[in-house]
Amino acid sequence: MLLTLLVFLPAFAGLLILLLPADRAGYSRWLALLGSLVALAISIGMFFDFQTGGGFQFVDRASWIDVGSFEIQYFLAVDGLSMPLVVLTTFLTVAAVLVSFSIEHRPRAYFACLMVLSTAVLGVFTAMDFLLFFLFWELELFPMYLLISVWGSGRREYSAMKFVLYTVAGSAFMLVAILALAFSAGTFDMEVLGTSTITTAVLPLGWVFLFLFIGFAVKLPIVPLHTWLPDAHSDAPTAVSVMLAGVLLKMGGYAIIRTCVTILPDQANDYGIWLAAIGSISVLYGAFVTFRQTDVKRLIAYSSVSHMGLVLLGIGALGTTAMVGAAYQMLAHGLITGMLFVVVGLMYERTHTREIGRLGGLARQMPLIATGLVFAGFASVGLPSLAGFIAEITVFLGAFQKHEWAVIMAIFGVVLSAGYILWTLQRVVFGPVRHEWDEADDQKHWWEHASVIGLAALVILLGVYPSLIMDMLDPAIGVVSARVAG
């Protein structure tokens, strides 16, 4: 029951928020904070209660729809792969609530959407019935659409619709693949699918793999399916960018490991080299395009494309080390990019511009925020002792033997990332002071900095004590790579 409680707690908080009377709308943020903090506490409790290497745990299972050969279960569980992602989600939800604490436009609806979004993502990470997984995957669209199109900026409706259409188009293929798989295996149970050998389906299995992959690759996103991401990021409010970069992209990487690779190991072997190739192309292409960005949020968005390419590269190598690296990179990127978006959001609130050309010398006027930006930037570059470094080095070590040239290409992408991050920091934080923002208040509210400090602490923790997570990931991924190895 614990897992069910965790998954639906945010949505329940969202419902309570909606029921608040209009003159009590101000309480919605506190309710959201309370709900997300309790969820965080539960997930941390589960994290320490988790039996490393013990397979799927905290199982909640019930028959939901059972008619003829078509059985759909309500089946939630976590293993070593999903447990850290669950904690990441609850943690970033708290951060997202904190950065939107000052929101004034229709706060009840806003926080309710944010809470439902959190439930949807938690559901994706914990659902072990393929159809339930799909339902949560789709559920995430509604709050995202509303959050971007109502509380966004710029061309928000265009961006929101683009986000929805890309995702829905991807999930259309996903649904075909899910049905084809379930029909040939006779079950939607992902645990069963992940342990049985499927040799035939109504579709060629390569197609099934491809269709699933398309659905997830849109989310990841990979080049050339990435164009929705910069639009969505640049028009979304800060908290939504945090959730989008922090956990929504991870749904793609998680799902590729959990379904494509685990359920169809033979096809994964066949296509692994392509995944690695697409991954390193994403790394390089993303990095090059990042250089050209003049909007800070778009810049981070493209750097996300580049960093998520590493995840795909790691998965494409199919070995334990490389895939652990990929999973670690998801966590590290979630924290680091989440932090970048938080800091940029704080900066934007004070300067009202995200144009790099108009910014400069912020280290003088808002030293705290500038420190946060520099820290997150260094983390993003992959400075040793921070989380990103561990992730990148593990991916490269794991993948080098299998896809030498792809790794070499990707390493160039990482070098480029040092270039664009440092260059951006130099233009935004340092350089001549612009007196426009002399009046800016660096420490306006405690909650703004609470999330930055929390994120920074985790980035350091994951950088110096990786075995906290690695030990959990290792056995879970080991099962997958053993399947791939045959």
Residues at the contact surface with other proteins, assessed by CB under 8 A: 64-70, 131, 135, 138-139, 141, 145-146, 149-150, 157, 161, 164-165, 168-169, 172-173, 175-176, 179-180, 183, 202-203
Instruction: Tell me whether residue 119 or residue 329 sits nearer to other proteins (CB atom).
Output: 119
Which of 201, 135, 225, 229 is CA-nearest to residue 174? 135
Query: CB under 8 Å to 79, separation ≥6 — which residues?
Result: 55, 56, 57, 476
Nearest approach, Cβ of residue 201 and other proteins (Å): 9
Nearest approach, Cβ of residue 148 and other proteins (Å): 11
The first and second tokens of residue 26, run together, are 């101000």
Instruction: Tell me whether residue 216 or residue 396 sits nearer to other proteins (CB atom).
Output: 216
Instruction: Tell me whether residue 139 or residue 278 sits nearer to other proteins (CB atom).
Output: 139
292 φ, ψ (degrees, to nearest 5): -85, -5
Instruction: Tell me whether residue 170 or residue 272 sits nearer to other proteins (CB atom).
Output: 170
Nearest approach, Cβ of residue 177 and other proteins (Å): 10
DSSP bridge pairs for 66: 71
Instruction: Tell me whether residue 186 or residue 419 sits nearer to other proteins (CB atom).
Output: 186
Nearest approach, Cβ of residue 30 and other proteins (Å): 25
d(CA 347, CA 444): 12
Nearest approach, Cβ of residue 180 and other proteins (Å): 5
Please say whether the beta carbons of 351 and 303 come within 8 A.
Answer: no
Instruction: Tell me whether residue 1 or residue 67 sits nearer to other proteins (CB atom).
Output: 67
Nearest approach, Cβ of residue 131 and other proteins (Å): 8
Query: CB under 8 Å to 415, separation ≥6 — which residues?
Result: none
d(CA 366, CA 343): 11
